[in-house]
Amino acid sequence: AATAPRVPSTALALQNFDMNYSLRFGEAWPSVRISLLSEQKYGALVNGFADVDHVAQELELVNAADFVSKSLQKVQHLQEGSVVEPAAREQSAPQEAPSEHQAAKLPPLSALVTPNIKCYTFPRGDITRFRSARPDVLGIFNYYLLDAASLLPVLALNIKPGDLVLDLCAAPGGKTLAILQTGLCGHLAANDISISRTKRLHQVLNSYVPKQVKETVCITSWDGRNWAELESGSFHKVLVDVPCTTDRHSVMEEDNNIFHKRRSKERQMLPMLQLQLLVAGILATMPGGEVVYSTCSLSQLQNEYVVERAIEIAETEYNIGTQVKDLSYFRTLFQNTFSFSSDCRLGELVLPHLTANFGPMYFCKLRRA
């Protein structure tokens, strides 16, 4: 045993995914697989606390575009200029621009996502890399590089002016920073159980947010599963971006790999941890408030099944009703940027694709009765 070759964690992860995801995705799996094993595509989240106009000009000069405003403007144009008969519905091909009918079926843009978040991406098929962000004269970095699909759960929160917001598993801080970019929070609580990861969260906010703004964020290192013991029914919006198998990382990086043999027990317990965190998020939400659950995994066991079980537990153990909100309009809004799965029972799933190599990113929105 001492001389047997050690199987890399990345290889174990790929073996696991080949066994499970080939059944889940069928003929689509080889395409998703090669995308997972290829270089990830990034987006540049513009820092609204820096010189936004200057940053936007720099990014546009290298042929990047703000996928959020671009999508919203296109839909708004179609909504304002089209009158479509209900009987004229047609199925549009994947990755096409929103049809007039799709746009007409969408609710008002103000009810969809906040337009304040700006994130630049390169066109589909363009694998240009953004250069590293630079600090301005005040020491604030101009943009934050992240998987652009990770913004979708934040956009799904659709934060309104004065909302009390909880980011239950906040570190390393990309989504927390995106929440702050909306400029709409009445209060933001950012929590992560890991003290070392919370330090990373502090570093991100120190680099991107003015001191007076950071001081308005309550950063804690509690066990998120017990959050209801601290603040129950207190928040308008709660983001539950749970620890998961981080599929892309698992097949690409040995460091901190959840498929390491010593972490097999931890990996097996992930769905239980995710379930406990989502239930805690539901309990932390005030009646009428909303929870967005997200992972960067393709696993139904960590995605839809966790949501279904959490809904059941909230009802049976806490007498709390929850309603799954339809997020299919995200496919209409952002299909020119991301490749979406067409068969999620609950929520939406961004699939890695060589022409748009973001994700995986699963997100589902619940409204508490």
Residue positions in the annotated binding site? 169-175, 192, 223, 241
335 close to 99: Cβ distance less than 8 angstroms? no
Q: Which residue has the tokens 């995801």?
A: 21
Neighbouring C-beta atoms of residue 6, cutoff 10 Å? 7
H-helix segments, 49-190? 52-61, 67-81, 100-105, 152-157, 174-181
Cα dihedral 149, 307, 183, 228, rounded to 10, equals: -140
Q: Report the Cα 231 to chain-centroid distance in Å.
A: 24
| Separation between Cα atoms, residue 12 and residue 315, nearest integer Å | 38
Q: State both tokens at 183.
A: 């400029």
| Separation between Cα atoms, residue 287 and residue 339, nearest integer Å | 34
223 close to 277: Cβ distance less than 8 angstroms? no
State yes or no: cis peptide before 8, omega within 30 of 0.
no
Which of the residues 119, 185, 244, 296 is marked catalytic?
Answer: 296
Q: H/E element holding 282?
A: helix 270-284
| Separation between Cα atoms, residue 294 and residue 274, nearest integer Å | 10
Q: State both tokens at 291.
A: 């929870």
Q: Tell which residue, 209, 212, 158, has the closest CA to residue 45.
A: 209
Instruction: List binding-site positions for S-adenosyl-L-methionine.
Output: 169-175, 192, 223, 241
**Residue 244 known to be catalytic:** no
User: Hey, is 220 helix, strand or coil?
Assistant: strand
Q: What sign does the dihedral 345-251-151-200 (CA atoms) show?
A: positive
146 close to 45: Cβ distance less than 8 angstroms? yes
Would you please indicate which residues are annotated as catalytic (active-site) residues?
296
